[in-house]
Structure 1
């Protein structure tokens, strides 16, 4: 199972939200590249990053920081947030990003997702954010009426390989990840599933690994010291 330490970007800084609430934002570091290097020094091979302004507004104000991650570290970078055109996907990949995560546009426009997959293949992943059992879009500010099961089935039929699934209710709470959700999804759908939201310690990671998940994203637990990245990588990474 790959472990992906997370850097959420807002205003060029490293931040974390609580349950996706932009009014509950904590700034952890002013220098995102220094944070990425710290993760690399701890043994990380991947970095998960989200442009929170982009996720909400459909823009890419933190593109420069993401490009710097690729240029100034040896990490494989996946990025999401505000990626709603083929040109934006291309810009990120040209900057060295390994995998682009489509969220809002993938949920609302399957034909766009199909076109992205045809052009970029496995370099395109889909982010499915679940809020109170519904699929959330636009930086978790809205939800849709789509069936979660039907949407996941559509992703499989389109040939999506990698899905990052976030339980928004757990995100930033350090209360444990939603193991039952990921068990149900991994049992039903043949996807490379990456769990996100609520990972609070090694026991969470042991449970996710036991499910055979492809990966897990580590956020607030790293920033608060609840989880040591080197120890996590040694045991389950």
Structure 2
């Protein structure tokens, strides 16, 4: 089980949003680079980064911070947030990011997803963020009117190398992930799935491990920052 501690970057700071709401955010003292160093020091190997400024603007706003994290720490990093062009994907792969997450742009334009997967084999992760079974786009502000599983079936053969499934109603709430829906997604998906949204305790990690074989890992965010999950405890679950 891969465990991805999360870093969400906004205005050069680590922040956490509740249900993706930019008006409901908590800022943390530690810089994104220092936070990444802390994860590295504890023995984590993977990292999930979201550029929230990028999600709002469609530009690679925090590329310099992400480049510094990649250069300083030997971590496998996946990055998402407003990545809408082949050029942006190229910038991230050039600095050494392991996976580039495509969300809204892929859902709005399936051909973009297909082209990206062909141009960057094994580098593209598909981010599916759902609310009540339907995919949301544009920083979760719009409902796409597409059912998650229907869309997944349409793009399943495009060549994404990872799928990150988030239940928006759970994200930042620490109410436990939506394992039922995640399991359905994992059953359908041709590529490994990452659980995201609502992780509240070590029990959620243990539960994720007991699920579908196609579940590759889990993202943990707010529960770390709020002290509900201790890093020493969490890192033990990687190889346990």
**TM-score, length of structure 1 as denominator length:** 0.96
Query: Where do 1:1-237 residues align within 5 Å?
Result: 1-211=1-211, 212=213, 213-237=215-239
Kindly tell me the number of residue pairs found equivalent between the two proteins: 237
User: Unmatched 5+ residue regions in structure 1?
Assistant: none
Whole-angstrom distance in 2 between the partners of 1:108 and 1:218:
27
Structure 1 residue 31, shift from structure 2 partner: 1.3
In 1, the alpha carbon distance for the partners of 2:70 and 2:114 equals 26
Moved over 6 A (4+): none
- In the TM superposition, residue 56 of structure 1 has moved relative to its aligned partner by 2.3
Helix, strand or coil at the partner of 1:121:
coil
Contact 2:118–2:159 (Cα < 8 Å) also in 1: no
Whether the 8 Å CA contact 1:12–1:30 is kept in 2: the answer is no
Separation in structure 1 between the aligned mates of residue 234 and residue 31 of structure 2, nearest angstrom: 24
Gaps of at least 5 residues in structure 2 are: none
Q: What do residues 177-216 of structure 1 show as CA deviations (whole Å, max 9, x unaligned)?
A: 1111112222233321001100111111111111131010
CA distance 1:30–1:43, shift in 2 (3 Å)? closer
Give the secondary-structure state (helix, strand or coil) at the position aligned to 1:78. strand
CA distance in 2, matches of 1:82, 1:188: 26
Higher mean displacement: 178-187 or 217-226: 178-187
Distance 1:203 1:30, change over 3 A: closer
CA separation in 1, counterparts of 2:238 and 2:33?
25
Structure 2 CA distance for partners of 1:30 and 1:203, relative to 1, 3 Å: closer
Q: Is the 8 A contact 1:15 1:29 kept in 2?
A: no
